[in-house]
Homo-oligomer: A and B are copies of this chain.
Amino acid sequence: MRSFGSDNHAGVHPDILSAIIKANADHVIAYGDDPYTERAVQKFKEHFGSNIEVHFVFNGTAANVLALSALVNSFHAVFCAELAHIQVDECGAPEKFTGCKLFPLPAQDGKLFVDEIKMNIIGVGVQHSVQPKVISIAQTTELGTVYSPAEIKALADFAHSQSMFLHVDGARIANAAAALNLSLKELTADVGVDVLSFGGTKNGLMCGEAIVFFNPEIAKNFKYIRKQGMQLASKMRFFSAQFEALLSNELWLQNAKHANRMASLLAGEVEKIPGVKISRPVMANAVFAYLPPAAILKLIEKHFFYLWDEKTSEVRWMTSFDTTEDDVQVFVTGIKDAFSRSHSQSILSG
C-alpha cells in the first residue's frame, strides 16, 4: 500500500532505524540519564542555539499540550486557528490537561495574523474573563501553508507586547524550514518563538517529538510536567538515538525537502488534469484540491487519502520522506483514470 493520506502512514527512515538498532547495546540508565540523550540534546543545541532546553515526549498531542502546560495557568486562554490540531484533532487534551479555554480564530490559508488576535483580546484584567496568554500557530499550517519569518516575528512581538507567549506546533517544522531554505534557528529562536513542538514522527522517526524551550526559565519545572503528563519514556535512549540521527547529516532537511518536492511534483501534474483545481498554495508537503465527487469516489476505491471537506469536495494529499516519484506517477494516473471512469459511468447512467 502506498498512501497519500498522511505523512504518518510512512514507516521509519532507514538511518533512524539503524540508530535504534545501534542503541540496543548494553545497559543504560533509564529515563534520560544516558549518553544517547546527552548527545541528542547537544544536537538540538547545534541547531537551535545553546540557550535552549529540550525534552522528548512520545507524540504530537503531548508535545503541544505539555508545551502549553508550561506556559499557562488554568485561567488563561490560548489563541489558535480554527483548524488547529490542538483545537480539532486532540480530543480536548489541551482543555483537559491545562484547564484553559482555547479561542479558535478564522485563519486565512491556515494562518493567524495579529489583527485577528488583537480584535479578540478582551477582558484583560477582568476577573470574569479568561486571560490571554498564548498564541499557538502551526508551522507548516494544517492547510500546508508556511509562515514567513516576518509573519512569525510579528506574532511573537505582539505576543510579548501583551505579556503573552508564542507557541509553534512544529509537527512539520522541518518541511517549513526546507520550503523557506532557512535554518531551524532562523525560523524559531531568531524570530521570537518561545516554545516549539518539534516534530519527529512525520519526518521519519518511529516515534518521538521534542519540546524546545527558547527561554530555559519557562522550562524550569518541565521535568515534573512531563512525568505527571505520562510522557517520560523509561528506555529513553531509543527516542534520543532517533533524534540524534535525525539531526545529523542533515537527515531532517533531506527528508523534508524530499517530501516537499514530491508534493510539488504532484501538484504540477494534477494541475494539468482538467477538472482538478488546486485549492491552497502548495508550499510544503501537502496538496489540497477540489475534485468532482464522482471522481473522488472512483479514486478512493484504489488509493488511500482523506476527503478534507465533503461540502466543497476538497481533498488533501500528503507526501512523506519516502514518497517516490513512481508513487506520484501511479497516483496521477489513478486520478486520470478516476476521471475517465466516473465520466463513462455518468454517460452510462445518463
Complex CA–CA separation, A201 to B236 (angstroms): 11
Give chain B nearest CB distance to A125 CB in angstroms: 9
A226: chain B residues at CB < 8 Å are 127
**Is there an interface contact between B29 and A60, defined as CB atoms closer than 8 Å?**
no
A8-B30, A75-B221 given; A207·B235 CB < 8 A: yes
**Is there an interface contact between B89 and A74, defined as CB atoms closer than 8 Å?**
no
**Is there an interface contact between A74 and B59, defined as CB atoms closer than 8 Å?**
no
Complex CA–CA separation, A179 to B73 (angstroms): 40
**Is there an interface contact between B77 and A227, defined as CB atoms closer than 8 Å?**
no
**Is there an interface contact between B29 and A228, defined as CB atoms closer than 8 Å?**
no
**Is there an interface contact between B96 and A74, defined as CB atoms closer than 8 Å?**
yes
B-contact bits for A1-31, CB 8 A (1 contact / 0 none):
1110110111110000100110111111111
**Is there an interface contact between A228 and B75, defined as CB atoms closer than 8 Å?**
yes
A90 interfacial by beta-carbon distance below 8 Å = yes
Complex CA–CA separation, A207 to B31 (angstroms): 12
Task: Name the segment of A99-107, A110-118, A245-253, A287-295 touching the other chain.
Answer: A99-107
Complex CA–CA separation, A316 to B225 (angstroms): 28
Complex CA–CA separation, A96 to B92 (angstroms): 12
A100: chain B residues at CB < 8 Å are 92, 95
A27-B2, A232-B59 given; A101·B97 CB < 8 A: no
